[in-house]
Amino acid sequence: MNLFKYHGSGLIAGAIVLGPIVWLCLYLAARMVAGGADSDASGTASALPQFGFYAGLFSALVIWGYGFVVFFRNSAADKTKEQSLQVERDPLSALIDRKTFLTRLDDAVAVAELADSQLAVLAIDLSRFKSVNDVWGHAAGDAVLRESVFRIRALVGSDTMVGRMSGDEFAVMIDNEVNPRSLKHLAQRIIEELSEPFEINDTAVSLGASVGVALYPVNADTGETLFRGADLALNKAKADGAQMHRFFDTEMEKHLSRRSALERDLRLALERDEFVVFYQPQMDLKSGTICGYEALIRWERPGEGLVPPMDFIPVAEETGLINQLGEWILRKACQDGANWIGSGIIAVNFSAEQFRFPGVDEMIREVLEETGLDPQRLEIEITESLFLNHSPEIMATLRRIKALGVRIAMDDFGTGYSSLSYLTRFPFDKIKIDRSFVRQLSDDPQIAAIISSIVSLGRSLSVDITAEGVETNEQVVLLQAAGCSIVQGFLFGAPQRANIATPVDKSPPEENRPPEEDCPPGETGALDDDGEDRVEGNDGDDGDDGSVTDGTVDGEIDDDMKKAVA
């Protein structure tokens, strides 16, 4: 007779119809209770080793016909399950964690395959959540997360599987109404709900959200690939703008494949020394000579030629390779600067991501000692994105760098919302007027007034002023009239390799200056549409790239440029 039966839930039921066995169980349980044991008789297994498991009396005996039914529970299994439930749930949101979500998603895919049914996963990301932690503190951030979960739950229902995948990212599995129309409606509703203001310290704060959607079996055949598809779609949604949702498609998979190959080759490129540094001159209009250079990185990828920095700098930042890459370009620029005759500035862009690594100031000090470059000739260019989290550690690091004798420049000045406030918080040595102002200089008289005000501000703060993206002689005349005497742009020279760049304190050769008629505004024939390689993305965007280079719009080098820098 089969006395005991294991069930998947851990409940073990045994039907006992023989009186003596029943009374033996009662006798043993009574002895344990009398001895102070737990009332569920957790120690019964030691008294009944023949049962083969650790069991206790779960409930009273129920009279059933001429015999009895006795229910036993595997207490150890219950405790293990309770512990696992604590582990698998995120304590803040009470949602299952990433590992558990993916495990259960795999199970759901297996069931859907047998039932020939469909599933969908929605990956959800809160926009601007980091700013909540930075400005209002982590307690406020925790409250926003809990409220976000409440809003998502209200839309999808309490029975729908929802998981917290990372700090501000959630995932939802849908196993009913799996069709593009209903999923699109749900994604839009989630975005709308999460875009409603959150109440933080009596202040209404709007965040927003992005959503990516993937379907089984249309887009994936496993739980892992289904979630990856939703995550790729989410990345596409975030790249396309705020409050967007996107469905996974095969082009995203191709993009992922290309990106993986790029990341792999980028790691190898550091080992194979495939990077080169180009230098763009900075002109002193008063003397007519070159007074410094900005170092711009290029990747000579085998089989592809020069890869624009906008294609690989973001990957380097995401993977942490930016630290190694940044140190490499700094060392190379300092070596070249030390070998040139003259005393001009060598400017190197630093990414905001580099300052997330400890010891940036120490790395700069070591490079200066190794290369022998005078610290006063090195200029570190940073954008205001570095200051967005108001980190005292970053301010302390910048002050230690400045204490080395190194100059600090505020790049892309005027594109952010708080540039002026940063000038009062840190003693910059230079302000670089963003190219977007220079580009409009000929068409908008108010721009000239703004530039004149910036120059006056610089003089009052004893800060040098440089205008970027100068393309025409007309811009030069207007900049001089506004009081700006240091300029940089394709009009005065394309970025070149160190071995052919004109030494500091010399006038650039005429052959390095393309005729103005060949460089109409917006069509410079340079590395980008303003003659400088920016990684920052769009003019005035958050620029959280800070880049090791100076970025491009398209980054392509035309045939004339290739000849110029060969």
CATH at 157: 3.30.70.270
Domain count, the chain: 3
Residues 209, 304 within the same domain: no
Scored b (16 or more CB within 10 A) or e, 53-77 reads bbbbbbeebeeeeeebbbbbbbbeb
List all residues 6 or more positions away from 294 whose beta carbon is below 8 Å from its beta carbon.
279, 280, 282, 347, 348, 349, 381, 488, 532, 550
Q: What are phi and psi of 412, to 5 degrees?
A: 55, 40
Other beta carbons within 10 Å of 206: 11
- Span 220-272, pLDDT tens digits: 989 999 999 999 999 899 988 878 999 999 888 787 778 788 889 999 998 99
Say yes or no to pLDDT of 65 above 90. Answer: no
Given a cut of 70, is residue 95 above it in pLDDT? yes
Do 324 and 182 lie in one domain? The reply is no
Residue 540: domain span: 273-565
Above 90 in pLDDT, residue 96?
A: yes
Which of 61-65, 86-90, 420-424 is least confident?
A: 61-65
**pLDDT the model gives residue 121:** 98
Element (H, E) at 531: none
Residue 138 has pLDDT above 80, yes or no: yes
User: What value does the mean pLDDT take over residues 154-175?
Assistant: 94
Q: Are strands 289-301 and 345-349 parallel, antiparallel or unpaired?
A: parallel
Q: Is 377 helix (H, G, I), strand (E, B) or coil?
A: helix
Residues 157 and 13 in one domain: no
Is the same domain home to 107 and 62?
no
DSSP summary character for residue 355: G
Strand 67-74 versus strand 11-16 pairing type: antiparallel
What are the residues whose beta carbons fall under 8 Å from the beta carbon of 538, sequence distance 6 or more?
none
pLDDT surpassing 80 at residue 441: yes
Q: Is 142 in contact with 126 (CB distance < 8 Å)? A: no
Residues 226 and 331 in one domain: no
Is the pLDDT confidence value at 50 over 70?
Answer: no
In a domain, 254, yes or no: no
Q: Pairing state of beta strands 209-216 and 245-247? A: parallel
314 with 440, same domain? yes
Q: Cβ distance 55 to 72 under 8 Å?
A: yes
Together in a domain, 228 and 286? no
Residue 562 has pLDDT above 50, yes or no: no
Q: Are 244 and 289 in a shared domain?
A: no
Tokens for 452?
């004149």
Q: Which of 79-83, 441-445, 468-472 has the least mean pLDDT?
A: 79-83
Residue 161 in domain: yes
Q: Is the bond leading into 217 cis (omega within 30 degrees of zero)?
A: yes
If asked whether residues 70 and 189 sit together in one domain, one would say: no
Position 522 pLDDT exceeds 70: no
Within-domain flag for 263:
no
257 domain residue, yes or no: no
pLDDT value of position 256: 73
Together in a domain, 74 and 197: no
Asked, for residue 258, whether it belongs to a domain, the answer is no
For residue 115 the two structure tokens come to 């039932």
Distances (CA, A) of 140 to 92, 134, 143, 391: 12, 10, 5, 18
* pLDDT > 90 in the chain, percent: 42
On the question of pLDDT at 180 being above 50, the answer is yes
> What is the 3-state composition of the chain as percent helix, strand, coil, each rounded to the nearest 5?
45, 20, 35
Whole-angstrom distance, CA of residue 507 vs CA of residue 511: 12
Beta bridge pairs of residue 487 = 283, 467
Q: Rounded CA gap, 244 and 356, in Å?
A: 29
Higher pLDDT, 384 or 42: 384
| DSSP H helices in 273-321 | 309-319
Is 219 contained in some domain? yes
- Please provide residue 452's backbone torsions phi and psi, each rounded to the nearest 5 degrees: -60, -40
Mean pLDDT (whole number) for 102-118 = 95
